Chains A and B, each alone.
Chain A
Amino acid sequence: MTDVVAILANGFIYGSIYGLVAIGMTLIYGTLRILDMSQGSMVMAGSYVGWWALAEHGVNALVALVLAFIVTFILGTATELVSVQPLINRAKEVDLEMVTFITTFAVAILITNLALQHFGPFQKNVPVIVSGHVELVKGVTISYHELTMAGISIVLMGSLGLFLARTRWGLAVRAVAQDLDAARSMGVPVTRLYPLTMGLASALAGVGGVFLGGLYFASPTAGDQPLLFALIVVVLGGLGSLTGTIYAAYLVGLIQAFTEVRYGTTWTLTILYAAILAILLVRPYGLKGSPSEARL
């Protein structure tokens, strides 16, 4: 009984945060057909902003989150302008998907190493957003920080859905995802939309970074593991499918919680990878992905 509660609670919390980091990648892939490898360094940047605001300047938690959102939004927009924009009009001569995989990876290398030089290799403690914890059943406690993290992640994912479904800009994003040329001829400002989409996705990862920083630390390599999990989640969910990503995030969270409770943390990745291989062998495009259909 205790185990079941622990697995469900942890799975829910892991799933929410993976969802938040991975949904940005899905959004970018769905619109731009680009796999953004700099998403992990946005998590890292977010946790440094959290450290700077909360530990160094002691500001309100909400201010820190908004600040992280803004900083990583700008960083993400800049990333797009540097690594994707120069290539868009050459889509006919280069394999955009693969080349941007490398260029965004290069940006990730740059950001990580600039952080290494500026902040040094040592871990920084990021204060938790809300202190205290609640005991679900005897032996299973959840901190308020984790609960807030899950709650805000869900709210953000929900508002992303609303943004895409209800606003003009969201409509434009979906139009571009469906048919780039048609959207362009209908007057959608694609060259402005791309940086904004990537900024938005990065900002979601940045907010996730503040939370993850509170759970672990802020360090130059803090983005590596979130990136790996986000990759696993988006592959499992089917690239470009928002609902698939959310299902996959919670599935990955649950598998991780299950392995941790039953076999210990050392086996997590190996078992997770085996599970994903098994799923991909049956469904090569992930849970909800489809080869050519327009998504989002």
Chain B
Amino acid sequence: MIGGLGSLTAGRWLLIGLGVLIAAVFPLVYTNPYYMTIIVTAEIILILNISWNFILGMAGVWNFGQLAIYALGAYGSGYIMLHYTSVPVAIAIVLGGVLSAGISFLLAIPTLRLFGIYTSLLTFSFAQVVQYTALNDPHLGFSDEGLTGGSFGYPAVPGLFPDYGQEAYLRAYYWVCLGVIIASCFAVAWLRQSHLGYALRSARDAPAYTAARGVDLRAARIAAFVLSGFLAGVAGALYLSFNQSFTTSQMGLTPMSIDVTMLVIGGLGTVTGPIIGTAIVTAIQTKLINYPGWTLTVLGAALLVIVIFVPGGFVGLFSRVNRRISTWVSEGDEPPPGDPEPDQRLVA
């Protein structure tokens, strides 16, 4: 068996099943359209964060271009939805992911020639350049409205569920996104234990040693780029089709700061980290919605405090507390069998 979910105990499976069940039933009970919109948007951001966490946390490639990849997925699928209406929307969303995977592959080639901080710089400026180019697009002369709609945002597209009423629409998108989230969480958990996952994680922690053991670092990282690019593209396409719009501000510095904060608060490189981080930050954002400007101030401060004092984020904190409790419970016994170290670069 190449990969696996073997590290999950029966208790964990029960917990996961319960969580999924509650999440699936939730929109039947709760129908407030305002909060449902926020929740569905958060789900889409969570999909993006899962993809980003895969390349950033697990593969340890400091790719800060993920938002551009996400946006390109939105634009690509939007182009199909707008101009090729015979193609089913679901296919268009997948094709957006494929386009993003392709661009991610192209980005990986020059990026992986570089090392360390150069990687983040190149990808960071890639994101900025894509943003500025998209913003200027109507003036670039590709067509009248351009490929991206420029600063006006992408024109409205027929979404996945064009004839649904508001309540059913929100509920349907909620379930679609939930499905993608569950599938990608399991995929990431499975990949962690696969050849690729081990190669990526050991390449992150000890690149020279890993290369000496005959692992092709470049191939593994390119695979990570392509996989995470695909998921990011799907997230972008879902965002466009759900919100009926996509503006260049979706890939600016502000969303980048928010997403990085989500990842770091949750715990980089873990499977559950993005879920926790996205939930916490979305809650903070929703609470502070009446105090514009404070959101980012609070998040910036939180990011600083978490990185310095709680490296490993909340997941790291939980597993440390958990391990301490189990050590305390089993004092005198054999040391508790390996709850493996939370897996991240920022660990304390």
Binding site for B on A (CB under 8 A): 29, 35, 82-83, 86-87, 90, 93-95, 97-99, 101-103, 105-110, 112-114, 116-117, 221, 224, 228, 231-232, 234-235, 239, 266-267, 269-270, 272-273, 276-277, 280-281, 284-286, 291
Contacts and interface: CB of A to CB of B under 8 A. Distances in A.
A192 B301 CA distance: 24
B139 A266 contact: yes
Contacts of A239: 117-118
Contact of A231 (B121, B140, B260, B307): B121
A27 to B, nearest CB: 15
Contacts of B122: 235, 277, 280
B117 A35 contact: yes
B304 A232 contact: no
A102 B303 contact: yes
Given A93-B348, A110-B301, A235-B125, A87 B308 contact: yes
Helix, strand, loop or mixed for chain B's interface? helix
A276 to B, nearest CB: 8
Contacts, number: 123
A273 B129 contact: yes
B218 interface: no
Interface string B177-221: 000000000000000000000000000000000000000000000
Q: Which 8 A-B pairs have the closest CB atoms?
A: A109-B300, A266-B136, A110-B300, A106-B303, A106-B304, A113-B297, A113-B296, A273-B129
B326 interface: no
A174 B245 CA distance: 52
A93 B316 CA distance: 14
Interface stretch (B32-40, B42-50, B107-115, B166-174): B107-115
5 contacts: A105-B260, A106-B257, A106-B301, A228-B125, A284-B113
Interface of B: 62, 110, 113-118, 120-122, 124-126, 128-129, 132-133, 136, 139-140, 253, 257, 260-261, 264, 293-294, 296-297, 299-301, 303-304, 307-308, 311, 345-348
A139 B72 CA distance: 40
Contacts of B308: 83, 86-87, 103
Given A99-B346, A269-B133, A109 B303 contact: yes
B293 A109 contact: no
A166 B264 CA distance: 43
Given A82-B304, A98-B345, A113 B293 contact: yes
Contacts of A272: 129
Nearest to A285: B118
Given A99-B307, A112-B296, 12 more contacts: A35-B117, A82-B304, A99-B311, A105-B303, A106-B257, A113-B297, A114-B297, A228-B125, A267-B136, A280-B110, A280-B113, A280-B122
